[in-house]
Amino acid sequence: MGGGNASRGAKSAAARAKAQEKLAKSGPTSQLKANAAAMTIQCVTCKQTFMNTTKVDALKQHAENKHKNAALATCFPNVAAA
């Protein structure tokens, strides 16, 4: 009977060591390439890029603020206005 906590502590330590070892083998990870690949929407006027998850409202705001109240279709002809 007894010794339950001690064995759990040893299991946890072993699991932590194994996880650290696995993490060290994988090397550093970076999100930069994935973020660059996601920049698929481009303003025709100024060529500024936006992530493909950008909402239409943000694109409208860009067109109005940066291009003297230009229409959304003028700056982003491939984006369907919602």
Cut 0.85: pTM above it: no
Residue 81 placed within a domain: no
Question: Is 67 part of a structural domain of the chain?
Answer: yes
Neighbours of 39 (CB within 10 A): 13
Residue 53 domain-assigned (yes or no): yes
pLDDT score recorded for residue 55: 93
Say how far residue 48 (Cα) sits from the centre of its chain.
18
Structure tokens belonging to residue 4: 């339950």
In a domain, 82, yes or no: no
Q: Is residue 80 part of a domain?
A: no
Please give the tally of structural domains in the chain. Answer: 1
- What is the residue range of 67's domain? 4-75
31 HSE (CA, 13 A, CB side): 3
How far, CA to CA in Å, does 61 sit from each of 17, 52, 81?
50, 16, 13
**pLDDT by 10s per residue, the chain, length 82:** 455 666 788 899 999 999 888 888 776 778 888 888 899 999 999 999 999 999 999 999 999 999 988 888 999 998 876 5
Q: Domain for residue 21, yes or no?
A: yes
**Does 39 reside within a domain?**
yes
Euclidean distance between CA atoms 66 and 24, whole angstroms: 46
